[in-house]
Structure 1
Amino acid sequence: MSNTLMVRKAAVLGAGVMGAQIAAHLTNAGVETVLFDLPAKEGNPDGVVLKAIANLAKLSPAPLASKSYAAAIIPANYETGLDKLKDCDLIIEAIAERMDWKQDLYKKIAPAVADHAVLASNTSGLGINKLAEVLPEQLRHRFCGVHFFNPPRYMHLAELIPAKTTDSAVLEGLETFLTTTLGKGVVYARDTPNFIGNRIGVFSILATAHHTAESGLGFDEVDALTGPLVGRPKSATYRTSDVVGLDTMAHVIKTMADTLPDDPWHPYFKSPKWLEALIAKGALGQKSGAGVFRKVGKDIMVLDLDKQDYRPADRGAAPEVIEILKNRNPVEKFAQLRASEHPQAQFLWAVFRDLFHYSAYHLSDIAETARDVDLAIRWGYGWSLGPFETWQAAGWKQVAQWIADDIVAGKSMSSAPLPDWVFDGREGVHAAEGSYSPAKNAKLPRSSLPVYQRQRFPDALLGESFAQGETVYENDGVRLWTDGDGVAVVSFKTKMNTVSDAVLDGLQEAVSIAEQKFKGLVIWQPKEPFSAGADLAGALAALQAGKIAEFEAMVANFQATSQRIKYSLVPVVAAVRGLALGGGCEFQMHSSRTVAGLESYIGLVEAGVGLLPAGGGLKEIAVRASQAAGASGDIFSELKRSFETVAMAKVSASAVEAKELGLLRDTDLVVFNAFEQLYVAKQQVLAMAESGYRPPMPARQIRVAGDVGIATFKMMLVNMLEGAFISPYDYEIATRIATVVCGGEVDRNSVVDEEWLLKLERRHFVELAQQEKTQARIAHMLKTGKPLRN
């Protein structure tokens, strides 16, 4: 059997929150998907599923890359729809976490499952081998566990759990599909309760809860300590529990208690009294409006166990503890935490110590290597470093000794000894050659499956480094490099990859070098965002110093850079992911093609800071409208959508939506795995270069909407102004945007060229920039990160 899993059509069994969102993400990826549930008691037998599909549009963050995709999901039920399973290549079961229900369903569907189809259970912790027992012989080798994390569109982790009977080719095929098509990071887990992510992640939450009680700290204090200060998400510990749902947390804890009787930490696998009390009251967290935290008006309140009531959440990390945590040297940081008398520091040491202890003790039963544990926690819980990486960075031997000392002194949660391999003279578990596997007693390299050769820079673990390519050219703003494959790559060096003078000059130089020495150029950033736009701080300084000529020159240079990209003699491909705002959006509009990650948030947002796009973005909108309308079509109707997008400073919530907003072209590609993006962008360059690429001819015959177009847009804007949807200054900015995209006060259907439109852009941009209200908007954005509506 080949290890290519061809998925033309998929089915998801169970239209609950998780099942419906998995179906949504398969649909995002262009996989035709049937969503099943029980037949409705009355009305349409597919009623349960239809309701779940309608509900997808209400969820935030959005599970669908475009609202229009909901219509593509095919509803079905287990009574009348089993025939629909027959032509499905992949079936993912996602019903409630009950062994008997899952097994009953497998018996029911087995006769309808095709001979080649793969069946996978999205269980978060039930035994995969036990589930497999009810399957007919011929289906067992095509069955395994695949555990998506919630929300499945956004969480990178997918745990793959083989049963004893699973065929290795089936696993490799599924791993490849999950990686490229769905954009996931795959980690293999052993068939133990809660697998890797939730086993270690929930233990970390339980240890945190235990030490919260021991130390007498408030829940808000603990969240202040266990969030970004230690490289974890803002929602930290208790806020995360509220978001997940306190009832769900309690269920996972109970699963651990029921299924792990021999775990040395078993006495701690129970919900704290306060958690049970909240659940009994119906305070389940975010979904019920109250949990550990609750919002009262604009104020955040937190549960106070002493008062048995909510109080304002105003306790934070102590200055002396923040000072320790800011230390860039992890070895010193951990030594200071352990030595400090401050209760917050002692709390943090205890939480880390017990997490390290638990992870090392259980590594050999839950995973093949330490890499699997660290990546599962990073990708599933959003930590910047996994537990083993954190320990290794802090000095493996010294920390191991401290843990051992605490175990002897009776300070740690369990008296179970650390495994012998911890003390075999090692300096850690990760190194350039691989990560430690207790079962093989060796460091194992990363997977050699072909799909991973598409990842030039995989998510690097501590001790791993990937060759950075050969530098061809560098200035303060950009670095141009190559792997020797004939393609040059240019990356920005500024904060948030903003566009400074050095970036503009560097990009123009990069295009020139690519034309002479390479088949093409990719604009790609090692880390998100693609670009947060122009360097506003630099622009504001020039304006306030009254250097208008200098400011005008910068705008002209911005436009020249965009035009240089557009008319390059070799293809320039923009590899966009994360934010691509303002100038970042304009560069990709001028590229030969954009390869956008699904999670691309693209927008021309200049109106928010009192400006209009002037890096060629409005010119490009006018050019595209003229091309789309052809010789006789209605230009105004082609402009309408793009005008609204720019005037309202809309940002796409996905790359698919960016196409709908007119910020990406229909021919641009959407890539689901961020780590494959550079590979795909390079392949696009090579394909265009090998097919005899020529840049577009200069646009000299651009038909514009003219004065009639401007007047029509103004009518729309007056209505918005009278309805108080926009401020008078918003009206002025939007009128200028309309003036540029319509080609200025010329007759309708007049023909202009690009230079004319660029000049219009520049003029209105520079005029707006000199207004007091615009400068106030820029200053406010720089200070608060939020737009000012003046």
Structure 2
Amino acid sequence: MQSGQSGQRAVAGTARFHVRKVAVCGAGVMGAQIAAHCVNAGVPVVLFDLPAKEGDKNGIAKRAIAQLAKLNPAPLGTAALADLIIPANYDDDLHRLAECDLVIEAIAERLDWKRDLYQKLAPAIKHDAIIASNTSGLSITQLAAALPESLRHRFCGVHFFNPPRYMALVELIPTADTRPALLDLLETFLVSQLGKGVVRAKDTPNFIGNRIGVFGILSVFAQADTFGLPYELVDELTGTRLGRAKSGTFRTADVVGLDTLAHVIRTMQDQLPQDPFHSHFGVPDVVDGLVQQGALGQKTGAGFYRKEGKAILRLDPAKKEYVPADTKIDESVAAILAERDPAKKLRALHDSDHPQAQFLWAILRDSFHYSAVHLEAIADTARQVDLAMKWGFGHAQGPFEIWQSAGWHDVANWIQQDIDAGKTLSAAPLPQWATRGPVWEAQGVHTAAGSWNPRHKRFEGRSSLPVYQRQIGAPRLVGEVQDLDAAVVYENDALRCWTLPAPHPQDVLIVSFKTKMHTLSPGVVRGIVHAVDLAEASYKALVIGQLEDPFSAGADLKAMLPAFLEGGAAAVEPIEREMQDMVLRLRYAQVPVVAALAGLALGGGCELAVHCAQRVAHFETYIGLVEVGIGLVPGAGGLAFCARRAAELQAEAAPDAPLLAFVKKFALAVASAQVSKSALDARNMGYLRASDPIVMNRHELLYVAVRQAQALAEAGWRAPLPSRFPVAGRDGIATLKAQLLNMKVGGYISEHDFVVAEKVAQVLCGGDVDPVSLVDEAWMLKRERDAFLELLVQPKTQERIAGILETGKPVRN
């Protein structure tokens, strides 16, 4: 959970590990963003860099901290977190290292610079701190040699992937001297406190992720040239259709930076001369040429692509100029990629004569071939390779998973045929373990017994670290045991009510939705009420949460549409009332109800969550009342909640604090369809409370939520008593309306935006009543329901609803 301190389990012979403060040495892009993610988790950071030559000696670190607020995607959960990063320099502030339990070096990839820095830092590091380098590929063993012998057992590599807040992968690389117990402690901290997916790598150049991933990029370059495919077509083929990042290959290279890509390729070229694929490790001529021209990709405005106005142009290497990016994927190849059966899909790609299909088979074959040849050298098991590609490069499946799911025997035979025919990037044979023995017999590297370790020649199970016992419903690789043995209590087409197996608490009922994007269909709404009935009858508490994101994208508009088309607004009114009754059922349930939030919690999903007794949120939770985007107001208790919460906040503030100031905060958020940028931001917006825990690791969410619900029940939780609260009334409406009018006149909002926002103001302020009049929930819900139905019949609202249903994008009218 997010907090000011981070505690870990005790390891035999090792004191309990608390990370009270982290030192990050190097305020470059990666160092500053690692610092940002630590403070996201509530861990304060000292950010070191060289002393500035002029002015404030901490100027370099201070500028890096200030720059964090300008980056997109945002490294910080809220801008205020920057205050938890303390700027420092190596001349004046080394004494601060004595406060730090973890020291992460993140300077430029120069072995000599890193060694010099270690010699400067070593005398000031506290005796029990863990020391780590964020190098992306330098030898950890060589780096360790620069440390005094007394520190080497506490040193390792800890390679974050960029951007650190959003990329799950962290590679943990020990040396022969690294104490195993300390490595376990660091892994536990990274997994639970920073929310990372940790892969242990061997100390080889570029480790696992960049070794396999950058080879994959070089394969794409080579095969695109072989088959004569333009960049935009390659990106279409190697994007989401192939189960990879939407940006494909060349767009991703532009985002990463072509200079950075060239550096990593040269690292492989220089440090891996014996690699049988070495002839393909050179920086491609087109990349080298772009770097020499200063066209480094997105950061310079041009690389493989260049944007001119709204048009996206791509480089034509033959003409050496930018041309329209308009080549499309062939329909027959698109149909192959849409095939759900992985065996049929890969066979179709292999058998097709179309150049686009042959290109895809070639890059997949190359990844299988390279991963198999190098598995024993770079990783303990095949599991680390697959997870590195999933967590570090955004692949839906790792290379061994794809190979295994498509049929291990067939694919192995196809690879060997291509090796024999000279079609592969190397003539290196597949290793023996891939073509005979236990893997061949099991038809894959991942089994119920574990993943293949080629050095030990056996299948090895997952990590036994206690931190992984906190993960509920974490995805398993193809072939692994799906070990969530849930007990289903009730199930229908809309949702499932279930409990966790022992040793988890079995007296807490969990309800999960089965609808697309976990929308609130009428069946879900009625099912939630039934779940409350079940919990009150037989359980101590109820948790509403999903094993996969999102929590809920809101009300199911498509389910509501037939009723509206047949009976108009009058037919929708019972549906709205049913949703309002559902959130009140949650609020006043006789057992505590906890919402486990992750991903989107929009519209009705937000309204559901705020009416629960408590919320437990993953850090990456994006919550908001967004109904104005489709020309409606929140209709399931959202505005009633905002009005009541504003009154509560006013009561907690100074006695003379004006109520309208708190109402305005919610009015602005709702009228602008504002969505939180993180769970911490949702606290600032008022949708989460300070008492609502924030979890950094998505897979620990249900673990924490279930125990939080159980703790509430054990503490004698009682539902709140219905009560009246003050509203801003007609004076508040007038003030908000005047501000909205200024926005309309200024062209910031449209005429219909004004109409919808005015309804928001009227409801939030309680309608045409005196200021600070006391109203109850029934009064507020009636105002909310009426406003919703009045807007529903507006033609422009209907245009917005039709647009969102047809295109998924909001209509501005």
TM range (shorter): over 0.9
Q: Deviations over 1:25-69 (max 9, x none)?
A: 111111111000000010000000111111000000000000011
2:405 is the alignment partner of 1:382: no
1:211 touches 1:351 (CA, 8 Å); kept in 2?
yes
Find the counterpart in structure 2 of residue 713 from structure 1: 736
2:288 is the alignment partner of 1:264: no
Counterpart AA for 1:445 = G
Find the counterpart in structure 2 of residue 201 from structure 1: 213
Q: Deviations over 1:442-495 (max 9, x none)?
A: 111111100000002122111221234111111221110112511111000101
Separation of aligned partners in 1, 2:91 and 2:147: 20
- How far did 1:4 drift? 4.0
Q: Paired residue for 1:559, among 563, 573, 580?
A: 580
- How far did 1:632 drift? 6.0
Separation of aligned partners in 1, 2:569 and 2:133: 63
1:436 touches 1:442 (CA, 8 Å); kept in 2?
yes
1:540 touches 1:775 (CA, 8 Å); kept in 2?
no
2:757 is the alignment partner of 1:740: no
Counterpart mapping for 1:134-533 below 5 A: 134-424=146-436, 425-426=440-441, 427-464=443-480, 465-484=482-501, 485-533=506-554
Separation of aligned partners in 2, 1:625 and 1:310: 54
- How far did 1:634 drift? 2.2
Separation of aligned partners in 1, 2:772 and 2:74: 40
Separation of aligned partners in 2, 1:641 and 1:629: 12
Separation of aligned partners in 2, 1:96 and 1:616: 53
Moved more, 617-626 or 61-70: 617-626
Over 3 Å counting, the alpha-carbon distance change for 1:154 and 1:210 in structure 2 is: same
Moved more, 465-474 or 500-509: 465-474
Find the counterpart in structure 1 of residue 803 from structure 2: 780
1:543 touches 1:770 (CA, 8 Å); kept in 2?
no
2:19 is the alignment partner of 1:7: yes
Separation of aligned partners in 1, 2:123 and 2:313: 54
Separation of aligned partners in 1, 2:665 and 2:296: 42
Q: Deviations over 1:745-764 (max 9, x none)?
A: 00111111111101111011
Pairs aligned (count): 789
Find the counterpart in structure 2 of residue 62 from structure 1: 74
Corresponding residue SS for 1:521: strand
Counterpart AA for 2:696 = F
1:330 touches 1:393 (CA, 8 Å); kept in 2?
yes
Counterpart mapping for 1:56-95 below 5 A: 56-95=68-107
Counterpart AA for 2:452 = Y
Corresponding residue SS for 1:697: coil
Counterpart AA for 2:310 = K
Separation of aligned partners in 2, 1:168 and 1:390: 32
Moved more, 361-370 or 431-440: 431-440
Corresponding residue SS for 1:198: helix
2:137 is the alignment partner of 1:129: no
Q: Deviations over 1:66-93 (max 9, x none)?
A: 0011122100000111111111100000
2:619 touches 2:679 (CA, 8 Å); kept in 1?
yes
Find the counterpart in structure 2 of residue 658 from structure 1: 682
Separation of aligned partners in 2, 1:114 and 1:293: 48
2:508 touches 2:710 (CA, 8 Å); kept in 1?
yes
2:596 touches 2:617 (CA, 8 Å); kept in 1?
yes
- How far did 1:733 drift? 0.9
Separation of aligned partners in 1, 2:649 and 2:338: 54
1:3 touches 1:172 (CA, 8 Å); kept in 2?
no
Moved more, 600-609 or 304-313: 304-313
Moved more, 188-197 or 537-546: 537-546
1:190 touches 1:366 (CA, 8 Å); kept in 2?
yes
Q: Deviations over 1:229-287 (max 9, x none)?
A: 11111101111000000010000000000000100001100111111111111111000
Corresponding residue SS for 1:541: helix
Find the counterpart in structure 2 of residue 645 from structure 1: 669
Corresponding residue SS for 2:618: strand
Structure 1: gaps (5+ residues) = none
Separation of aligned partners in 2, 1:403 and 1:458: 32
Corresponding residue SS for 1:678: helix
2:623 is the alignment partner of 1:602: yes
Q: Deviations over 1:618-646 (max 9, x none)?
A: 10111112222227642111211111000
- How far did 1:543 drift? 2.3
Q: Paired residue for 2:717, among 682, 693, 697?
A: 693
Counterpart mapping for 1:673-688 below 5 A: 673-688=697-712
Corresponding residue SS for 1:51: helix
Find the counterpart in structure 2 of residue 46 from structure 1: 58
2:102 touches 2:130 (CA, 8 Å); kept in 1?
yes
Corresponding residue SS for 1:545: helix
Q: Paired residue for 2:646, among 622, 625, 632?
A: 625
Separation of aligned partners in 1, 2:485 and 2:579: 28
2:519 touches 2:553 (CA, 8 Å); kept in 1?
yes
What is the CA RMSD across the aligned residues, in angstroms? 1.1
Separation of aligned partners in 1, 2:266 and 2:776: 69
Separation of aligned partners in 1, 2:297 and 2:15: 43
Corresponding residue SS for 1:141: helix
Moved more, 387-396 or 216-225: 216-225
Over 3 Å counting, the alpha-carbon distance change for 1:17 and 1:558 in structure 2 is: same
Corresponding residue SS for 2:99: coil
Task: Percent identity, please.
Answer: 55
Q: TM-score scaled to structure 2, two decimals?
A: 0.96
Separation of aligned partners in 1, 2:448 and 2:542: 30
Corresponding residue SS for 1:138: coil
